[in-house]
Chains A and B, each alone.
Chain A
Amino acid sequence: GAGVSQTPSNKVTEKGKYVELRCDPISGHTALYWYRQSLGQGPEFLIYFQGTGAADDSGLPNDRFFAVRPEGSVSTLKIQRTERGDSAVYLCASSPLAGGSTRELFFGEGSRLTVL
């Protein structure tokens, strides 16, 4: 596809359940980012991948959150034992070059997670 694709667009789950959110970046983009956006707030950084490895996971709030990018393309954000406070829009972005370049980030439309 032409842009960053995120699935599902909406996910409703119950407290304590496990959730996976998928991001398909723009083809050829080596850098991939996950952000989380709560209502009325700006996006908050979670994790950054350069290729297959997590180059910076300093934004992950706790060990219930984990992300992988096994082949350097598609990434999955995994949330264990979901809590109501995890409800937010999870945004994925990709960039053609490594973090630290001046290239722009291309964002997907996000996955809205609601934990009941």
Chain B
Amino acid sequence: DAKTTQPPSMDCAEGRAANLPCNHSTISGNEYVYWYRQIHSQGPQYIIHGLKNNETNEMASLIITEDRKSSTLILPHATLRDTAVYYCIVRDQTGANNLFFGTGTRLTVIP
């Protein structure tokens, strides 16, 4: 069963911030939020993950709401190479080995 809900597609202008939402209203206390992306014909690539605090790395920022029922992945300055399918995943750190990918959000960065 899907634990996350994402819009099927989004567009973003090159150079602008891309904000990708994810709903995970049934998330439990020991589940992390992970984001992966998959560029065409490649394997998925890890972007970022978090538990309850906002996180930032060289690729993106992750904003998690206080109730943890939703999150937003932010690509601050989208480039054409960011065009990909973005997957939001919740994962229990204590046992589950299975990352459930769902169908993700297809982000298209427009020149």
Contact = CB atoms under 8 A, between A and B. Distances in A.
A99 B99 CA distance: 10
Nearest to A108: B43
Given A102-B49, A107-B44, A48 B97 contact: yes
Interface string A21-65: 000000000010101000011111100100000011011000000
Interface string B72-111: 0000000000000101000011111111111110000000
A79 interface: no
Nearest to B46: A104
Q: Which of B43, B98, B99, B100 has the largest number of chain A CB atoms within 10 A?
A: B43
A19 interface: no
Given A42-B87, A104-B49, A109 B98 contact: no
Q: Is the interface of A mostly helix, strand, loop or mixed?
A: loop
In this complex, the interface size class of chain A, counting residues with CB under 8 Å from chain B, is: 20 to 34
A58 B100 CA distance: 13
Given A45-B98, A48-B98, A100-B94, A91 B43 contact: yes
B84 to A, nearest CB: 12
Contact of B32 (A35, A45, A102, A110): A102
B2 to A, nearest CB: 10
B98 A106 contact: no
Interface of A: 4, 31, 33, 35, 40-45, 48, 55-56, 58-59, 91, 93, 99-102, 104-110
The 10 A-B residue pairs with the shortest CB-CB distance, nearest first, are A107-B43, A42-B101, A99-B97, A104-B46, A48-B97, A45-B98, A56-B97, A43-B101, A107-B44, A42-B102
Interface of B: 32, 34, 36, 41-46, 49, 85, 87, 92-104
